Structure 1
Amino acid sequence: MDFPDDLSTGQRIRLIRESRGMTREVLAGMCGRGPDWLKKIENGDRHLRSHALILRVAAALQLTDMSVLTGGARDGVTQPVHIGRLHHPAMPPIWDAVMGHRLAAPPAHPMDVPALQTRVDRTWHLWHSTGQNRTAVLRLLPALIRDAEHAVRTSSGETRRAALVAQSDTYRLMGQATAYIAPPELAWVAADRAMAAAQSADEPAAIAAAAWNLGNILRETSYADEAFQVVTDAASLIHPHLETGPDDWRGIYGALQLHAAVTLARDGRAGDAWRHWEAGDQVAKSLPATYVHPSTVFGRANVDFHEVSVAVDLRTARRALSVADALDPDAMPSVERRARLWVEVARGHLQRGDRTAALHVMQIAHRIGAETVAYTPSALSTVTELWRSAPRALRPDAARLAEAIGLQDAG
């Protein structure tokens, strides 16, 4: 369809929906939301800012280019929409492992649970230690999922509790590695199984970690209130154990505080966001200076990185960039988290109108973590904006970066 340039995203959605003969109820349901939500989007009473939700609406409308909704096509920039259920080459085996295991015959021999947990821990480490983290981890996940299910089905007593923790850790890892590429139904299955396994194990730290994972999915699908409730409930559950529990219990508690801070910042609630960030900061101060939580990478560096994220989400770019200037990125052991820091710095530069600096740091982010940039909505949006508006002399560089992460030139 050929739209006037001044049409909003909501107006475009309504026109395309009506041209398809779809009711609001149908389209909203396909996006996991209610018709009132879609009505507000179409009428301009609510802005559709979530990159993941825009992609979901585009897919539901059977569009192959997201810029039809955002208006980017007139600038010569498109972003492909994957309409099929499984659009990543590593996803079909994971789908089979997750959805087919309950139909398999019961295994005949028990699983070595400590060895399984070691494999899961090593795979979490792999997630944080390579720029091609999704490719590396997704290759290992199908076998881990099957072995975790095997371990739970063939163990009892304390061994079964340990197997349930390993199973929960595996599904949390799956949630992390498949974020933004798994179909929604698969993401929710993984989150639910991670939480169910942790609750069956009756292990507070595992429950808190599963809540952190569930909160990510809720927040990225625009259920911010529910995400905040999940992580604060989990923090309340683990709080009584902080004095006597191991460092990792405090680590996951701190990670929940940072999660809440970002969730609130995205909702513009500055006072509450900084209150939760400060709570995470206090936890980091109570831990050894070199402490890093094995899966969330909570620690001193991550608290500092989150100060940048919260400031950017609150659109206080001056504070974000001032904090970033004082940071040592190499203090963060996670490659994935270092790449995301530079994405946040680029967003801060864009907020101040400095596209040259934004492009420079996005190139750094891509060199550090190519798949983090290619599969993170905030990074994709930043590169798209740079491609549209980079200074003339830098447009070839912006185009090369866009091409490297899968964006395509319409012209």
Structure 2
Amino acid sequence: MGQSTEPEDFGALIRGARCSARLTQAQLGAKCGYSASAISRIEANKLRPEYSAMLRMCEVLAIPPQRMHGFAAPDASAVATVAIRCPSDEEDAVRRRKLLTGALAAGATAIVGGGTASAAAVSGDPTASLEEALFRLPAAEPMALPLLTLQTAAARRAFRAARYRDLGQALPGLLASAEVTREAATGRARQQASGVLARAYVLTAELASKQHSDAAWVAADRALSAARDSGTPVPVGEASRVLAITMRRSGRWSSAVHLLTREAAELDAAEERTAAVRTTLLLTAAYSAATGGDRSMALALLDETEEDVERLPEVPGLFTVEATRAQVDVYRIGALNALGTPDEGVKVVAGLNIDCMPTPERRARAWTDIGRMWHALGDGPQTFAALRRVGLEAPQEVRRPALRALTSDLLYGPARVQGLREFAVRTGALAA
């Protein structure tokens, strides 16, 4: 087993444990004597609760008391204090109105449309309007379920094509429409609307995770809640996957593995569609185990998924990830990188046919993991070649924080790589 990763702060600790326990902010607050908004501020490290309240939260969330070391002293003030300067209610209202204006404009923009510059276009961050939109969705009217399904399918196409700016502009409006459509529906129609809403939140969580945005927590939590309301196993599996990714990114890799393997066990391995979802969950679990240093579990899960894809026919059309042999190979390369044995991935790369992968987003992900492998092996030219392939497959992918960091590492490394500086400027890793 690898060493556990401690959360960087109390807010991250509480947020990760709450999502793992499947509690909303309101539910946790009710158990601890706080409002949902107060829990939100605690998780954002804007409000420091008294020590006794911290202990109560740890009790509710099954966090060992020793994890509290360094967050507060037993003789801390009994009055909750603001950890950083917080604006007044009036300042908050003004700031939110300004941000909401940008969110409304983004939500009103068609997914392939132009129009005025959005917050995402100005900042270069596709998630620029998402956090505020999740706090307060734009106004919307219920729509016919077939139309809502078509809009969600269009958003999915934007994600799979790695058109992240288009997706970021469309999501606030899509989420708002899906929320009000579900609230206006009853019976079977409500369940169907819940499934569509879950997938809209899955896309939101996927995009936020790519940009290292905390909005991923909120979106993944809501995705799973809506998916369970749908009563359909496939959206539940998809939502569990994005929630587990968010857990892993916060250092809770073991919780992520537990969630994924538990959800996978509940899926029917004999039915093609749910079996394919099960395989994607186990792939994500394998990579999560690898990030925690658990080599035996990671490789065992990868071997299991390899057996799955060999015995099952390929099932296209899963929401963001397909269950194919190529996907298994890409996850194996990523897991070997995470385990610190990138040399073992070279043979896997040699047998990988990236061109057969169906979407630019997945092909770009494959080249990203290959680039990380060569970088870990100290091969600058091969790393740069992989980064250029990412840019060819999905130009917006190379502007992600993780890819810019990899480009910067290569740029300031010991070896000079021809064309790298121009690439770094073009992708935002280096100021012009």
TM-score (norm 2): 0.68
What secondary structure sits across from 2:172 in the alignment?
helix
The whole-number CA distance in structure 2 between the counterparts of 1:38 and 1:165 is: 41
Which of 242, 258, 261 does residue 269 from structure 2 map onto?
A: 242
- What's the CA shift for 1:167? 0.3
Cα separation, partners in 2 of 1:96 and 1:397, compared to 1, 3 Å:
same
Structure 1 unaligned regions, length at least 5: 1-12, 14-25, 41-85
> 1:270·1:314 contact (CA, 8 Å) conserved in 2?
yes
Task: Name the residue aligned to 2:303.
Answer: 278
* Structure 1 partner of 2:173: 143
* TM-score, normalisation: structure 1: 0.71
Give 1:214's aligned residue. 243
Indicate if the aligned counterparts of 1:125 and 1:295 stay in contact, CA closer than 8 A: no
- For 1:2-151, what aligned pairs fall within 5 Å after superposition? 29=45, 88=124, 90-91=126-127, 93-101=129-137, 107=141, 110-130=142-162, 133-151=163-181
Q: Deviations over 1:12-71 (max 9, x none)?
A: x9xxxxxxxxxxxx999579999969979xxxxxxxxxxxxxxxxxxxxxxxxxxxxxxx
Task: Sort the Cα spacing of 1:388 and 1:101 in 2 relative to 1 into closer, same or farther, 3 A.
Answer: closer
How far 1:94 sits from its partner (Å)?
A: 3.3
Secondary structure of the residue aligned to 2:411 is helix
Alpha-carbon deviations, 1:58-85, whole Å to 9, x = none? Answer: xxxxxxxxxxxxxxxxxxxxxxxxxxxx
Distance 1:95 1:224 in 2: 24
Q: In the alignment, which of 204, 207, 211 is matched to residue 233 of structure 2?
A: 204
**Cα distance change of structure 1 residues 101 and 346 upon mapping to structure 2, 3 Å threshold:** closer
Counterpart contact for 1:262–1:309, Cα < 8 Å? yes
Q: CA offsets, 1:300-326, max 9 Å, x none?
A: 321122122122222222221211111
Kindly provide the amino acid, as one letter, of the partner of residue 161 in structure 2. S
Cα distance, 1:234 vs structure 2: 1.2
Say if 2:221 is the partner of 1:229: no
| In structure 2, distance between residues paired with 1:318 and 1:90 | 34
Alignment partner of 1:386 out of 395, 402, 410: 410
Task: Verify the 8 A CA contact 1:390 1:398 in the aligned structure 2.
Answer: no
- Over the aligned positions, Cα root-mean-square deviation in angstroms equals 3.2
The 5-angstrom pairing of residues 170-189 of structure 1 reads 170-181=200-211, 183-184=213-214, 186-189=215-218
- C-alpha contact (below 8 Å) 2:206/2:216 kept by paired residues: no
Residue in 1 that maps onto 2:89: none
**Residue 408 of structure 1, CA deviation:** 2.7
> Which residue identity is paired with 2:299?
W
Q: Partners in 2 of 1:136 and 1:327 — Cα distance?
A: 30
Q: Kindly indicate whether the alpha-carbon contact (under 8 Å) linking 1:91 and 1:182 is maintained by their aligned counterparts in 2.
A: no
* Aligned position for 2:193: 163
Return the alpha-carbon distance in structure 2 between the equivalents of residues 155 and 28 of structure 1: 34
Q: How many residue pairs end up in the alignment?
A: 327
Instruction: Provide the rounded CA distance (Å) in 2 between the counterparts of 1:28 and 1:38.
Output: 19
How far does residue 333 in structure 1 lie from its aligned partner after superposition? 0.8
Amino acid in the other structure paired with 2:143? M
